[in-house]
């Protein structure tokens, strides 16, 4: 091929690419649904929040334990278009963390943003790690170590200190519900988040483990009732799923009602470890969760998804239909 013909071919390719680029950009801007997964990459255990009229997602980076040394976050005005905020926290900002940085729980208090996390996957009370907390002035971080040590570093009531969820009750009290290894505790957080304090009965760690509980607790309040949700099954397997109970207090008692999120063999497997979004001043709810694509067998190949969550007239949660489409745009007022 002579140099003249080659030059013309290269020019044609470049012109074609230039013409296609605007179409691609327009397509992205005109996206009608979030699609599932909602973002590219391997992510799990998503925490969903609303800060500053934006939706925020804070997932675990789904990789081998020794590679889990940072977390990304994602923000969106409408649940459809997402912006990535890389490394909102990493081990440079929390020196005692060396691996297995897991399952963030993020809350805002007095103009500060607090990110609670599990770290190091401790197996006994002689190892350093557990549940820590980091703080930032912005929801996009960077988050830096708040205490210089774990908030909880002991295995109490046989609950591994991981998978923490922060729940603010109507009276302003913050609780933390946490636990792996099939056991769940609830603790009362100090007002400044520097530790936990005893309940009125003198007990500091209350065990609230329902039947079937494995990990990944979530709590929210709706119409005066406390909804307690958790994940069941093995996280590496196809039958990982979400179940729930309803109680009159944050302490239960919680009796398992049923499964509301699970695999669909035609769409994805291993649907679990979730959080929920309630659009303020409405009864609109979304469930954010991870699942494993049908093409994947690697335990760490998990992706982040969003679908609608509905309630029946008696207050029970209807089984969630997992989809490939995801959800339509829902801007915040």
User: Among all residues, which ones are annotated catalytic?
Assistant: 45, 215
Inter-residue contact 162 to 131 (CB < 8 Å): yes
276: nearest Cα among 228, 316, 314, 213: 228
In the chain, what is the straight-line distance between the N-terminal and C-terminal CA atoms, in Å? 61
Place of tokens 């295995």: 155
Inter-residue contact 241 to 128 (CB < 8 Å): no
318: exposed, middle or buried (C-beta count within 10 Å: 0-12, 13-18, 19+)? exposed
Peptide bond into 263 cis (omega under 30): no
User: Reduced to 3 states, what is the DSSP secondary structure of residue 315?
Assistant: coil
CA distance 145 to 300: 26
Inter-residue contact 196 to 176 (CB < 8 Å): yes
328 φ, ψ to 5°?
-80, 170
Sheet harboring 285-293: ordered strands across? Answer: 268-278, 285-293, 303-309
> How crowded is residue 314: how many other Cβ atoms within 10 Å of its Cβ?
5
Inter-residue contact 97 to 115 (CB < 8 Å): no
Structure tokens at 21: 């680029």
């Amino acid at each position: 091929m002579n140099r003249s013909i080659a030059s013309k071919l290269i020019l044609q390719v470049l012109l074609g690419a230039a013409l296609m680029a605007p179409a691609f950009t327009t397509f992205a801007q005109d996206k009608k649904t979030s699609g599932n997964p909602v973002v590219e990459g391997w992510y799990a255990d998503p925490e969903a929040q609303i800060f500053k009229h934006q939706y925020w997602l804070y997932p675990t980076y789904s990789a081998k334990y020794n590679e889990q040394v940072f977390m990304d976050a994602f923000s969106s005005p409408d649940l459809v278009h997402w912006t990535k905020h890389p490394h909102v926290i990493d081990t440079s900002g929390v020196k005692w963390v060396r691996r297995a940085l897991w399952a963030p729980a993020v809350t805002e208090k007095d103009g500060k943003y607090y990110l609670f996390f599990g770290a190091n996957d401790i197996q006994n009370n002689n190892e350093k790690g557990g549940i820590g907390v980091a703080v930032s002035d912005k929801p996009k971080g960077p988050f830096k170590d708040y205490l210089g040590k774990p908030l909880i570093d002991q295995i109490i009531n046989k609950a591994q200190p991981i998978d923490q969820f922060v729940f603010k009750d109507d009276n302003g009290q913050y609780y933390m519900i946490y636990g792996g290894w099939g056991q769940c505790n609830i603790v009362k957080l100090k007002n400044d988040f520097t530790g936990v304090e005893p309940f009125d009965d003198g007990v500091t760690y209350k065990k609230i483990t329902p039947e079937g509980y494995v990990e990944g607790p979530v709590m929210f309040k709706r119409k005066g009732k406390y909804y307690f949700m958790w994940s069941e099954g093995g996280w590496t397997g196809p039958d990982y799923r979400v179940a729930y109970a309803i109680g009159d207090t944050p302490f239960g008692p919680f009796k398992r009602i049923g499964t509301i999120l699970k695999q669909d063999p035609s769409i994805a497997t291993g649907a679990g470890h979730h959080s929920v979004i309630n659009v303020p001043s409405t009864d609109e709810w979304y469930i954010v969760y991870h699942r494993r694509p049908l093409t994947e067998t690697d335990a760490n190949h998990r992706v982040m998804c969003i679908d609608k969550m509905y309630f029946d007239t008696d207050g029970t949660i209807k089984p969630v239909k997992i989809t490939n489409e995801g959800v339509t745009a829902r801007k915040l007022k």
